[in-house]
Chain A
């Protein structure tokens, strides 16, 4: 089982909100982890969005709109990227990442379609 699991795809309408999940493998508690989120559009390198550990330990990427926000769902053992007020330009692949056992680990990515 992968360390980080993301749904492969998600669709949402313009103006709506989208909640992207990043679930940690059973046995790895989301609690202490900083979860990083990246956006990648075709033909471009990933762009850092934000990292979230707690409300007192979080960071927004430079120039990243506040409609991108992070949180955790401890009961689901997952990190969440919430995108509100969806715009067509938000259509992209989204990846989560953590530092685990002396390695950076990426989730498999979620392809977000805005239609």
Chain B
């Protein structure tokens, strides 16, 4: 069964850091680009970051550029999102998603999400 399982969410103070993980199974992880998509409480979906299959190319939304870092460990079939200098507006459910198109055109598999709350 194709599956993505996020972890690492929690409560963090403004200015703090958090690292999210996404464990992939059931497909050849090394063949696919991956993305993080978030959803603030009661709001819509917002793309956050993407990484190529090899990990050699990374992309970020303007709202997180310079603060978040996406990476992957293909030997562990795991995707990461390092989040620094967190702000209240980063509060959201964070989903990892598999990108079969290779150019972030669409996402065919999503994790269940992990909740990040930034508050003092």
Answer yes or no: do A and B interact: no
What is the interface of chain A, defined by CB distance below 8 A to chain B? none
What is the interface of chain B, defined by CB distance below 8 A to chain A? none
